[in-house]
């Protein structure tokens, strides 16, 4: 799955990489992007242009009546998205690119869960879908989810799922709403390659932010028995 990621590029660089115009204000580096937060999404707009917009990370199909009672959909399984009522229309007509500079997974080590950062070779674009939810009082909310697939390579050592990415040469085809065959559109995605490295356990709290989260925690204090074996001054 993909339940936490980062985007630490400045706005100007994101716009250049995706050849997009901005519907977003400049933003600081984000090291700990979590579900329900606003995320930056690149989508196709009229005339074949691309726009960088903010959307809620947590997909809401248009037919949902009570969002507070609907499950939080942050990921969509690529294998079944074309068939699921929640995602099939968005996969056909509302695909997106979600800029990222890496994502995180957790692995239990002893009594604690250790977060690991999965480092790509450069900036990447998660394959995403989006939807505009309209409420009974006329309110609107744009929402998005990240497509995932079975893990391969390094990520498979930590989790059974990983995010799908779209290579730059396929950005246009992935975003093109004329490609209405959702299963065919998935052929424009791929599994990227990553390295893994441990980061601070402070990342587990979604309220924590900043570059310090990328620094692994100091080793735990030695056990008392080990301390007793040290030489003593009498």
Contact of 45 with 69, CB cutoff 8 Å: no
Task: Report strand pairing: 112-119 vs 124-134.
Answer: unpaired
Those residues whose C-beta lies under 8 Å from the C-beta of residue 165, and which sit 6 or more positions away, are 120, 124, 125, 126, 127, 189, 190, 191, 192
Which pLDDT belongs to residue 47?
Answer: 81
Single pTM value for the model: 0.90
What confidence tens digit (pLDDT) does each residue in 115-158 have?
A: 999 999 999 999 999 999 988 888 899 999 999 999 999 999 99
- What the block records as the tokens of 158 is 């930590």
Query: How many angstroms separate the CA atoms of 39 and 142, rounded?
Result: 10
Domain that holds residue 171: 5-105+122-193
Rg (CA), the chain: 20
Angle value at C-alpha 2, between 188 and 151, nearest 5 degrees: 65
Say whether pLDDT at 232 is over 60: no
Say whether pLDDT at 114 is over 60: yes
CB count within 10 Å of CB 48 equals 10
35-39 contacts at long range (C-beta below 8 A, 24 or more positions apart): 35/3, 35/72, 35/74, 36/72, 37/206, 39/98, 39/144
**Is 148 within the bounds of a domain?**
yes
**Is 223 within the bounds of a domain?**
no
What confidence tens digit (pLDDT) does each residue in 47-77 have?
A: 889 999 999 999 999 889 888 889 999 999 9
Catalytically active residues, by annotation: 2, 105
Those residues whose C-beta lies under 8 Å from the C-beta of residue 117, and which sit 6 or more positions away, are 6, 102, 103, 104, 196, 197, 198, 199, 214
3-state secondary structure 165-222: ECCHHHHHHHHCCCCCCHHHHHHHCECCCCEEEECCHHHHCCCCCCHHHHCCCCCCCC
Q: Which residue stretches of the chain are H helix? A: 11-18, 88-93, 171-175, 182-185, 224-228
Task: Provide the number of structural domains found in the chain.
Answer: 1
Those residues whose C-beta lies under 8 Å from the C-beta of residue 20, and which sit 6 or more positions away, are 14, 42, 49, 50, 51, 52
**Is 189 within the bounds of a domain?**
yes
Indicate the pLDDT class of residue 228, thresholds 50, 70 and 90. Answer: very low
Residue 134, domain CATH: 3.90.1680.10
What confidence tens digit (pLDDT) does each residue in 175-227 have?
A: 998 898 888 899 999 999 999 999 999 999 999 999 999 999 977 655 444 44
**Is 75 within the bounds of a domain?**
yes
Which pLDDT belongs to residue 176?
Answer: 93
- What the block records as the tokens of 162 is 């990983």
**Is 142 within the bounds of a domain?**
yes
- What the block records as the tokens of 177 is 């709403």
């Amino acid at each position: 799955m993909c339940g936490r990621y980062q985007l630490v590029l400045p706005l100007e660089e994101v716009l250049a990489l995706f050849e997009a115009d901005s519907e977003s204000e400049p933003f600081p580096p984000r090291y700990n992007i979590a579900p329900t937060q606003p995320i930056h999404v690149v989508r196709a707009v009229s005339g074949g242009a691309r726009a960088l917009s903010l959307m809620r990370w947590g997909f809401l199909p248009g037919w949902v009546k009570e969002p507070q009672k609907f499950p939080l959909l942050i990921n969509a399984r690529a294998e079944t998205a074309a068939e699921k009522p929640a995602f099939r229309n968005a996969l056909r007509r509302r695909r997106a690119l979600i800029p990222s500079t890496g994502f995180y997974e957790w692995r239990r080590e002893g009594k604690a869960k250790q977060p690991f950062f999965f480092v790509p070779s450069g900036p990447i674009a998660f394959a995403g879908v989006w939807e505009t939810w309209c409420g009974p009082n006329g309110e609107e909310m744009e929402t998005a989810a990240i497509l995932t697939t079975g893990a391969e390579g390094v990520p498979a050592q930590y989790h059974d799922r990983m995010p799908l990415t779209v290579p730059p040469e396929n950005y246009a085809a992935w975003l093109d709403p004329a490609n209405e065959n959702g299963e065919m559109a998935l052929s424009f995605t791929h599994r990227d390659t990553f390295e893994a490295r441990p980061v601070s356990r402070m990342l587990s709290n979604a309220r924590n932010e900043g570059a310090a989260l990328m620094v692994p925690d100091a080793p735990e204090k030695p056990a008392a028995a080990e301390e007793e074996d040290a030489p003593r001054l009498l």
